[in-house]
């Protein structure tokens, strides 16, 4: 941060007491309308409104309701207003749908009609009336009475162009949601996806549980944590980075199948695919191995796609993903052999490096055979994994949490699922030997002491749990945000998280709260 930057006040604006920006004038005008209303004894923020229908239901039953002349009551936000002398139309939108209302001076009377004139786009109103169809064929509510339910002070974005500035869309998601119905639909689909997965897990005997988010010790993944402090206990505490260690404790405790929808926090970089706070699902299944888990996960994904889309095909970017055929299962070694013609199984580190170099792989910072194989795999295989593909049996050096492969101890029993070039899940035959686990903690502890901030700290209690005995167990974790991105065609994680983390802005703009406070001061004079 530069010297001049530091010298800027937090919000940049000199406190002159005078706010002369156009937005302030727009808000002033609306405040004056409120004063006019108050003069007539009208509360601009009343307490409730009795609705008879949501707009969607109104439209569904439109013909019979119109024919019978039934009086209906609806409520929503004014999205458009078209006034024409002694009559006016407005578009009202509630959570479900949009409908047009017709306010005519003959129907509501002079006083109410003048009142309608004081309403702005953005205001929330309730109205009562009957249904009819206009000359141009639009289904419409003929208003008999209406009521202001909440006054909007801030103008809405352009009625036609909407809100496209992605930064404002993320920072003021409410504005995005108001004017972009497709965004509301997208987030509803996120909820739907989680619901489908939840139903699937519950119906297969997995118990949904809750474990600590605020932890005295973090673990279960290689990541830097958020650190905080508990005042009463006077101890450091951490936001969880993964659920793994607590869920395994529950397997020790005797549950067969557990899962959790986990909010995890990682104190790392932010980009199109990473938000500091994100959502995963982790599940643990006793007496099963990673083959069992792969079959189950494949069923879960296929079921979710079909339930959501009614088909097994999903478009993502330029690709169409087909979830119907059995997912491919390839060992990492075989996938590399397929892509490059080279079999790394029995190559020494030196020979592996020679082969990797021929493929123009960057080898700086790679110290063991597993890392070299992974580097080749990442460069030559991963980006090509468009259709759902399990990659299995990772080198032991790069997989410290998984059991060694029963056929070849140089590899582990682990798979990751790849779809559209993205990782969509990570699973192991879980390590349950407390001695082995302790050893890996100790190794990791050395790395931590040596400055590797992502290394795992020793969790004494978790080792204690393992000494009681944990059954053979398969575990799986997958990112919900990534899954939602895939199934909704979004390419940025910020588009599937309501309130993504943003940097603090220092653009010198005046906060609306300050404008409002100033206007209220002016009104007192």
Partner RNA sequence: GGGGGUGUAGCUCAGUGGUAGAGCACCUGCCUUUUAAGCAGGGAGUCGAAGGUUCGAUCCCUUCCACCCUCACCA
Instruction: Please give the annotated binding residues for Mg(2+), written as ranges.
Output: 416, 423
Burial of residue 16 (number of CB atoms within 10 Å: 0-12, 13-18, 19+): exposed
Q: Name which of 191 and 505 has its Cβ closer to RNA.
A: 505
CB of 167 to RNA, least distance (A): 4
Among 508, 517, 521, 523, indicate the residue that binds RNA (CB under 7 A). Answer: 508
Inter-helix orientation angle 512-524/22-39, to 10°: 50
Q: Does 22 bind RNA (CB under 7 A)?
A: yes
- Of residues 249 through 288, those in contact with RNA by CB under 7 A are 266, 268-269, 271-272, 274
Q: Choose one: 9-17, 194-202, 245-253, 432-440; the region binding RNA (CB under 7 A).
A: 9-17
User: Is residue 420 a contact partner of residue 319, using CB atoms and an 8 Å limit?
Assistant: yes
Collapsing DSSP to helix, strand or coil, 180 comes out as coil
Q: Does 414 bind RNA (CB under 7 A)?
A: no
Q: Does 359 bind RNA (CB under 7 A)?
A: no
For residues 515 and 205, give the distance between their C-alpha atoms in angstroms, rounded to a whole number: 55
Q: Choose one: 4-12, 68-76, 206-214, 249-257; the region binding RNA (CB under 7 A).
A: 4-12
Q: Name which of 48 and 360 has its Cβ closer to RNA.
A: 360
Q: Name which of 132 and 187 has its Cβ closer to RNA.
A: 132
- Of residues 430 through 489, those in contact with RNA by CB under 7 A are 454
Among candidates 140, 185, 176, which has minimal Cα distance to 156? 176
Q: Name which of 162 and 471 has its Cβ closer to RNA.
A: 162
For residues 382 and 391, give the distance between their C-alpha atoms in angstroms, rounded to a whole number: 9
The alpha carbon of 324 is separated from its chain's Cα centroid by a whole number of angstroms, namely 26
CB of 159 to RNA, least distance (A): 4
Size of the site for RNA (CB under 7 A): 81
Q: Name which of 33 and 73 has its Cβ closer to RNA.
A: 33
- Of residues 116 through 135, those in contact with RNA by CB under 7 A are 120-121, 132, 134-135
Among 74, 92, 115, 140, indicate the residue that binds RNA (CB under 7 A). Answer: 140
CA torsion angle 146 148 152 153 (round to 10): 120
For residues 348 and 410, give the distance between their C-alpha atoms in angstroms, rounded to a whole number: 12
- Of residues 216 through 255, those in contact with RNA by CB under 7 A are 221-223
- Of residues 151 through 180, those in contact with RNA by CB under 7 A are 154-168, 170
For residues 243 and 212, give the distance between their C-alpha atoms in angstroms, rounded to a whole number: 8
For residues 379 and 388, give the distance between their C-alpha atoms in angstroms, rounded to a whole number: 18
Among 423, 457, 472, 490, indicate the residue that binds RNA (CB under 7 A). Answer: 423
User: In sequence order, what E strands does 160-234 have?
Assistant: 207-208, 214-215, 227-230
Q: Choose one: 25-33, 42-50, 298-306, 387-395; the region binding RNA (CB under 7 A).
A: 25-33
Residue whose pair of structure tokens reads 């100033």 in the numeric block:
518
For residues 335 and 515, give the distance between their C-alpha atoms in angstroms, rounded to a whole number: 61
For residues 92 and 146, give the distance between their C-alpha atoms in angstroms, rounded to a whole number: 12
Q: Name which of 64 and 505 has its Cβ closer to RNA.
A: 505
> Which string of DSSP letters, residue by residue, matches 82-145?
EEETTEEEEEEE-SS-EEEEEEEHHHH-HHHHHHHHT--TT-EEEEEEEEEE-TT--EEEEEEE
Q: Name which of 257 and 388 has its Cβ closer to RNA.
A: 388
Q: Choose one: 10-18, 67-75, 302-310, 458-466; the region binding RNA (CB under 7 A).
A: 10-18
Q: Choose one: 304-312, 332-340, 401-409, 491-499; the region binding RNA (CB under 7 A).
A: 491-499
Among candidates 251, 290, 323, 255, which has minimal Cα distance to 477? 290
Binding-site positions: 416, 423
- DSSP label at 271? B
CB of 417 to RNA, least distance (A): 11
Q: Does 406 bind RNA (CB under 7 A)?
A: no
- Of residues 66 through 125, those in contact with RNA by CB under 7 A are 80-87, 89, 91, 100, 102, 104-106, 120-121
CB of 107 to RNA, least distance (A): 8
> Which string of DSSP letters, residue by residue, matches 394-411?
-BGGG-TTBPBPSS-TTB
CB of 234 to RNA, least distance (A): 30
For residues 519 and 30, give the distance between their C-alpha atoms in angstroms, rounded to a whole number: 11
């Amino acid at each position: 941060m530069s010297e001049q930057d530091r010298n800027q006040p937090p919000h940049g604006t000199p406190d002159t007491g005078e706010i002369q920006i156009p937005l302030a004038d727009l808000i002033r005008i609306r405040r004056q309308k409120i004063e006019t209303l108050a003069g007539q004894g009208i509360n601009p923020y009343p307490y409730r409104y009795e609705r008879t229908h949501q707009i969607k239901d109104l439209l569904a039953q439109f013909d019979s309701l119109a024919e019978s002349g039934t009086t209906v009551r609806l409520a929503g936000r004014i999205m458009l207003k078209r006034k024409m002398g002694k009559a006016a139309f407005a578009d009202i939108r509630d959570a479900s749908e949009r409908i047009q209302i017709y306010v005519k001076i003959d129907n509501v009377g002079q006083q109410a009609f003048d009142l309608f004139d004081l309403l702005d786009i953005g205001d929330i109103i309730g109205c009562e009336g009957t249904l009819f169809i206009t000359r141009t064929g639009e289904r419409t509510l003929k208003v008999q009475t209406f009521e202001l339910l909440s006054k909007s002070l801030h103008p809405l974005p352009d009625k036609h162009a909407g809100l496209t500035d992605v930064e404002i869309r993320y920072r003021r998601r409410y504005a995005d949601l108001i004017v972009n119905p497709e965004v509301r639909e997208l987030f509803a689909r996120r909820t739907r996806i989680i619901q489908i997965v939840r139903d699937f897990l519950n119906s297969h005997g997995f118990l949904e549980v809750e474990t600590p988010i605020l932890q005295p010790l973090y673990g279960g993944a290689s990541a830097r944590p958020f650190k905080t402090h508990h005042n009463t206990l006077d101890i450091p505490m951490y936001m969880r980075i993964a659920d793994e260690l607590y869920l395994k404790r529950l397997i020790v405790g005797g549950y067969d199948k557990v899962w959790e929808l986990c909010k995890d926090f990682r104190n790392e970089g932010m980009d199109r695919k990473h938000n500091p706070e994100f959502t995963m699902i982790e599940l643990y299944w006793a007496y099963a191995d990673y083959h069992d888990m792969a079959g189950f996960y494949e069923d879960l994904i296929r079921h979710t796609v079909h339930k959501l889309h009614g088909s097994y095909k999903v478009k993502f970017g330029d690709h169409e993903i087909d979830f119907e055929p059995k997912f491919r299962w390839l060992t990492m070694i075989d996938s590399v052999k397929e892509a490059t013609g080279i079999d790394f199984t029995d190559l020494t580190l030196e020979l592996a490096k020679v082969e990797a170099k021929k493929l123009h792989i960057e080898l700086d910072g790679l110290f063991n055979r597993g890392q070299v194989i992974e580097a080749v795999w990442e460069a030559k295989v991963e980006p090509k994994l468009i259709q759902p593909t399990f990659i299995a049996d990772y080198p032991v050096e790069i997989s410290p949490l998984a059991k060694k492969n029963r056929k070849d101890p140089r590899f582990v029993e682990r798979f990751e699922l790849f779809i559209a070039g993205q990782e969509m899940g990570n699973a192991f035959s879980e390590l349950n030997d407390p001695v082995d686990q302790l050893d890996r903690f100790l190794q990791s502890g050395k790395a931590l002491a040596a400055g590797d901030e992502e290394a795992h700290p020793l969790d004494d209690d978790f080792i204690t749990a393992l000494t009681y005995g944990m059954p053979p167990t398969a575990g799986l974790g997958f990112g919900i945000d990534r899954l939602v991105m895939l199934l909704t065609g979004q390419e940025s994680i910020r588009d599937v998280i309501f309130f993504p983390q943003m940097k603090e802005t220092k653009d010198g703009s005046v906060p609306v709260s300050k404008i409002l406070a100033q206007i209220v001061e002016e009104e007192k004079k």
